[in-house]
Structure 1
């Protein structure tokens, strides 16, 4: 009786525990599934992809480069030589003016009147000279005959000499008046480009007043400062060339402000008489032909000249070089596609490339894209770098700027 009455309680307890057991079983099953999923997610990622290029070796010219400004070969300040009211401007501002071409006129009426007066004074002086000449011719025989005194003859001769001087003075006054009248027409002393007029029609101008400026621009000068060391380098080279030991003088190349290369090559003309002690530079002048008058005084100009040729230079793209804590580094892809971050020493910049003087060999592979995600010992997936075609030619004068800091 007792045992039969206890069975329903056990069955009730087992039935109440069944949902709990089922829940525990589900949890264990889920944990097992999650463990399998986690093990799959922990699989190693593929090697990172990087772009590479091969290190090249070739002969490259090394350039010196400077910044300068253009200046007219001759710059003439056009000023009047007489005072007066500016009557007209006879040229087009900014145009090419030929030597002797009329540029300005000054009111000539005052100077025409002065010339007329001088001509009248000359006529009067010549008339007086003629009278005294007749007097001397008439008095000379009379004095010999004693008809007149010697004093009267001497007075006539003296008056004749005075009138001669008066005629010469009157003639000089006429010439001066003619010059003044001619100077009312202001002409170009040289062939060149005319500037904007400073004086305006109707202005009262004096001999000290600037009317405009005229610049001869073919050829045109370029002034640029170079360091004392660069000056000594080129001075020695020029001496060797002149002695027949150094070939020909290297031509100057000029890059315009828009980055284009000026088609004409220039020549070294002169160096200033002294070095500027404040900057340690000396001003040098170059000459460039300018047949189309493209270059104008005051233009920005980047000058470069080949200093030497670097034989067998090791070259890498700029984007392969990284500056880090005062060191210049390059990521090299070695055997097994493993990365080796090397410290290298750099030379000059040549276009979009750097010269490497130590740390690389020709044919090695260097990373040019993806530098930030690699480190020494890392395995990578190298892909060849294909340069995009350039729509415009890079400025030639950017060929050399010097080694990077910290190399």
Structure 2
């Protein structure tokens, strides 16, 4: 056979044989190791702490004391204080209004003169009674004369008492021509002009005290327990039991705070809202901005600090699952459901008083699919103490 044909034929036979060998013994593929995906979750370490339970409320600022300015004598207004205008400021015992006192001075002089006459008449009647009694003892005066002298003495004594009372009244009326402030405060409104004739009992304005302000705060019945107050709370709260109150108001972009305390509860629950109204008293100079006054009529938010509770774990509400359960991560990074005791739900948080131990990791990520015992990768959140 021609060598030129032999070599290609050998190569072809070897190629076919190699192909058949590979087909009969294919290479085995070694499968790669598979690792399941592990979800990364945010967790919070359970840290029991003492917590003050708080109750939020709101209300309108009102003055502690408000009075009508009412003169006790009649007359023409001859002087009005510059402070007696809406918003005017005054101190206790400042004179706010003067009434023409000419007639009252005259009345005082007449009363003084009447008293002197009464004193003279009383002294004369007393001397006459003594003289008549002496004559009667000597049988130089009749019993009738003695009785008349006694009656004259009694009448003179009564006239003296009446004259003294009249003088006191005249002095008081003269003093009342000056209308003075009963406390430090502000003027809400005024209703008098210079030269106007004012009558006794006529209101000429309204003033209010500025040492304290009050806010009526609606409180639900179940919230009273958080404050450590019984549902039967009415009237003045004992000093030692008064919960501290912080009220807040916004001035533009600035939030200001004032401090006070809950001093009393009103007599009955509101029939419509089922709320009990508590009254907080606040010092007007207790703001955190150097004693900025608390304006009357302002709507404020209030936080009432209640009783202190130990061993409370604060968690965000995002940690709560159905049936009061949370998800706890064990030492092997596996997730488990745990039922807990919830003391209270707040706006963003919940307070846990049972079911968790200190140091346990609680998942706060909103997982869509959760399987008991599934492995996760926990990432501890930073401290979120409120």
Q: Identify whether the pair has TM-score above 0.5, normalized to the shorter chain.
A: yes
1:38-81 residue CA offsets vs partner (Å, 9 max, x unmatched): xxxxxxxxxxxxxxxx9685899986432201122222332111
Q: Distance in 2 between matches of 1:265 and 1:141?
A: 78
Q: Distance in 2 between matches of 1:223 and 1:144?
A: 78
Q: Structure 1 residues 130 and 362 mapped into 2: Cα distance closer, same or farther (>3 Å)?
A: closer
Match 1:83 to one of 74, 90, 107: 74
Is residue 2:280 matched to residue 1:289? no
Task: Give the alignment's TM-score, normalised by structure 2.
Answer: 0.59
1:300 aligned partner: 299
2:260 aligned partner: 266
Q: Distance in 1 between matches of 2:101 and 2:145?
A: 47
* Aligned 1:222-371 pairs, distance under 5 A: 222-235=215-228, 251-258=244-251, 260-291=254-285, 292=291, 294-305=293-304, 311-313=314-316, 349-350=347-348, 361-362=363-364
Q: How many residues align?
A: 270
Q: Distance in 1 between matches of 2:138 and 2:187?
A: 74
Higher helix proportion (structure 1 or 2):
1
Residue 175 of structure 1: CA displacement?
0.7
Q: Distance in 2 between matches of 1:158 and 1:138?
A: 14
Q: Distance in 2 between matches of 1:231 and 1:69?
A: 21
Residue 107 of structure 1: CA displacement?
1.7
Q: Distance in 2 between matches of 1:265 and 1:197?
A: 31
Q: Structure 1 residues 278 and 138 mapped into 2: Cα distance closer, same or farther (>3 Å)?
A: same
Q: Distance in 2 between matches of 1:232 and 1:199?
A: 50
Q: Secondary structure at the residue paired with 2:173?
A: helix
1:167 aligned partner: 160
Q: Structure 1 residues 284 and 148 mapped into 2: Cα distance closer, same or farther (>3 Å)?
A: closer
1:184-219 residue CA offsets vs partner (Å, 9 max, x unmatched): 111122222333322222333233322333322323
Match 2:200 to one of 202, 207, 214: 207
Residue 300 of structure 1: CA displacement?
1.2
Cα RMSD, aligned residues only: 3.7
2:92 aligned partner: 99
Q: Structure 1 residues 169 and 55 mapped into 2: Cα distance closer, same or farther (>3 Å)?
A: same
Q: Structure 1 residues 114 and 250 mapped into 2: Cα distance closer, same or farther (>3 Å)?
A: closer
Q: Distance in 2 between matches of 1:238 and 1:260?
A: 36
1:216-264 residue CA offsets vs partner (Å, 9 max, x unmatched): 232321112122332344345999xxxxxxxx98642222143643333
2:356 aligned partner: none
Match 2:169 to one of 154, 168, 176: 176
Q: Secondary structure at the residue paired with 1:263?
A: strand
Asked if the contact 1:57/1:314 (under 8 Å) is kept, the reply is: no
2:212 aligned partner: 219
Task: Give the alignment's TM-score, normalised by structure 1.
Answer: 0.56
Q: Distance in 1 between matches of 2:127 and 2:305?
A: 83
Q: Distance in 1 between matches of 2:305 and 2:123?
A: 78
Q: Which has the larger displacement, 296-305 or 252-261? A: 252-261
Q: Structure 1 residues 156 and 277 mapped into 2: Cα distance closer, same or farther (>3 Å)?
A: same
1:72 aligned partner: 63
Residue 147 of structure 1: CA displacement?
4.0
Q: Secondary structure at the residue paired with 1:131?
A: helix
Q: Secondary structure at the residue paired with 2:68?
A: strand
Q: Which has the larger displacement, 168-177 or 112-121? A: 112-121
Q: Structure 1 residues 185 and 306 mapped into 2: Cα distance closer, same or farther (>3 Å)?
A: closer
Q: Secondary structure at the residue paired with 2:257?
A: coil
1:125 aligned partner: 118
Unaligned runs of 5+ in 2: 1-40, 233-240, 286-290, 320-344, 351-361, 369-385
Unaligned runs of 5+ in 1: 1-53, 240-247, 317-346, 367-398, 400-407
2:33 aligned partner: none
Is residue 2:145 matched to residue 1:152? yes
